[in-house]
Amino acid sequence: MIYEIVVPQFTKMLGNLLAILDDAGKYAEEKKFDVGVLLQSRLAPDQLNLLRQVQVACDTAKLGAARLTDTEKNAPVHDDSEQTLAEIKARIEGVVKYLNTFTAKDFAAAADRRITQPRWTGKTLSGQEFLIQHVIPNFYFHTTMVHAILRHNGVGIGKSNYLGAMPFRAAA
Amino acid sequence: MIYEIVVPQFTKMLGNLLAILDDAGKYAEEKKFDVGVLLQSRLAPDQLNLLRQVQVACDTAKLGAARLTDTEKNAPVHDDSEQTLAEIKARIEGVVKYLNTFTAKDFAAAADRRITQPRWTGKTLSGQEFLIQHVIPNFYFHTTMVHAILRHNGVGIGKSNYLGAMPFRAAA
């Protein structure tokens, strides 16, 4: 299930994020303003702007997969220099491509692995704690904030744009 | 792991939500305005207000647990009549109490159960699909929206108030 959450589901959510960024681009075109205004927007002066929200969502997915599979050395490095819609979309697409280099097998030992990251100064979480209490809530926090910033600025999106399609099956 | 996500983790997040609602209450007192203004706030005119965001987060957790364990008939019914800070906090506390009536064993067959809900008109998801693609993203969407609405209105909260404490262990 860890693989299902971190690879297929995060891939789906990042695809939904690409689609709402396209909606933001179209909205800016229609209203004849620079989409950069939206990319620099935030809901509070001490909050990360939209570009940074996307960058952190991307890093949460990338480093979540890398740390849970103990392959952090192989993860692509991003310098957070994106400034345009095309650049931030490329960042997301790169992370989706990276996520999809993993298979379910790579996560076989993930739940019990001890996981740390630089700002934790040596302290650790189990892989399951890291996934459930850190990766998942962080990833959805930042993807939702992108949605919130765009919606607050008038982009015509709703929760279905965030959730995406469900793999429904007809009742038997 | 389904139990870990739906019971202990959602309980933790609902506790964090109670704490930021208390912060909202204190902020309103300090600034001498009615906290009801915050409870009625939203980021866009066609978005749910804060009270409804909390109600939907609560229902997502409650009905997620109920449907995954096939015990929906026993779930408490809420009529979404909360109007005050005390009432909406009591709603959250009631859901936390309900979640904690479940044990890990109750979720043993959850992943493979076929799950539906009234608005799906007979269509179904597997329990695992329901959890990963519906319950988790919905729950974090609405809890994050509460955070976003409060932060936009000046309540002094950050991401650590949303995430809560981590069960760190010192490195060996």
Q: Which two tokens stand for residue A66?
A: 């890398």
pLDDT tens over chain B, length 172 residues = 999 999 999 999 999 999 999 999 999 999 999 999 999 999 999 999 999 999 999 999 999 999 999 999 999 999 999 999 999 999 999 999 999 999 999 999 999 999 999 999 999 999 999 999 999 999 999 999 999 999 999 999 999 999 999 999 987 6
Q: Do residues A100 and B147 lie in contact, with contact meaning Cβ atoms separated by under 8 Å?
A: no
Question: Selecting from 1.10.3720.10, 1.20.120.450, 1.10.10.60, 3.40.190.10, what CATH number does the domain A2-163 have?
Answer: 1.20.120.450
Q: Which residue does chain A place closest to B111, by CA atoms?
A: A1
Please count the residues of chain B: 172
Please say if the pLDDT value at position A171 is more than 90: no
Number of neighbouring beta carbons within 10 Å of residue A158: 12
Alpha-carbon torsion angle A124, A128, A132, A136, nearest 10: 90
The verdict on ipTM greater than 0.90 is yes
Reported as a pLDDT band with limits 50, 70 and 90, residue A56 is very high
Helices B136-152 and A136-152, axial angle in degrees (round to 10)? 50
Percent of chain B exceeding pLDDT 90 equals 97
What is the model's pLDDT at position A39?
A: 98
Q: Which two tokens stand for residue A112?
A: 């019990």
Please say if the pLDDT value at position A127 is more than 80: yes
Q: Does A31 touch chain B if contact means CB atoms closer than 8 Å?
A: no
Chain B contacts in chain A segment 119-138 (CB below 8 A): 120, 122-125, 128-129, 132-134, 136-138
Residue A144, C-beta contacts closer than 8 angstroms, at least 6 positions apart: A162, B140, B141, B144, B145, B148
What is the model's pLDDT at position B172?
A: 63
Q: Which residue does chain A place closest to B129, by CA atoms?
A: A167
| Rounded CA separation B168/A126 (Å) | 9
| Rounded CA separation A67/A109 (Å) | 11
Q: Do A134 and B166 touch (CB under 8 A)?
A: yes
Alpha-carbon torsion angle A77, A98, A129, B130, nearest 10: 150
Q: Which pLDDT tens digit goes with each residue over B21-58?
A: 999 999 999 999 999 999 999 999 999 999 999 999 99
Which H/E stretch holds residue B114? strand B114-115
What is the model's pLDDT at position A102?
A: 98
Distances (CA, A) of B107 to A52, A92, A113, B95: 37, 34, 24, 17
> Mean pLDDT throughout A52-59?
98
What is the model's pLDDT at position B131?
A: 98
What is the model's pLDDT at position A172?
A: 63
Q: Do residues A111 and A97 lie in contact, with contact meaning Cβ atoms separated by under 8 Å?
A: no
Q: Which pLDDT tens digit goes with each residue over A62-94?
A: 999 999 999 999 999 999 999 999 999 999 999
Percent of chain A exceeding pLDDT 70 equals 99
Sketch the domain layout of chain A as residue ranges: 2-163
| Rounded CA separation B118/B62 (Å) | 15
